[in-house]
Amino acid sequence: MISTCHPNAPSPPAREPVTTVGGWLFVPDRRNPAGDVHTGYLACNGRRVVLRHTSRLLADFLRQIRQLEGEFTARIEPQPNDRAGGARCTTG
């Protein structure tokens, strides 16, 4: 098994959630109590792909997607005086 522990790696900026990406599970970088960073990986059906160079990039990308989804959801939620119950299409 490939070790994913890197004692001198920079700290992840914040604890990212474990997320599904298609049929894969993305486990982002983790810092243990000793301060070692365990590199993030993708897992599927017992297979593990260590993302030594791209874990942070994927975590950043997924964080941006979650933010966009949240903003979109906030836009389409019904307003108190909106009988249509969601976003309105406008032309012009």
- Are 20 and 26 spatial neighbours (Cβ–Cβ below 8 Å)? yes
DSSP 16-53: PPPEEETTEEEE--EE-TTSPEEPPEEEETTEEEE-TT
The pTM assigned to this predicted structure is: 0.64
pLDDT tens readout for residues 12-28: 456 789 999 999 999 99
CA distance 24 to 41: 10
Residue 76's pLDDT is 87
Question: Would you tell me how many other CB atoms lie within 10 Å of the CB of residue 27?
Answer: 21
pLDDT tens readout for residues 37-83: 899 999 999 999 999 999 999 999 999 999 999 999 998 877 666 66
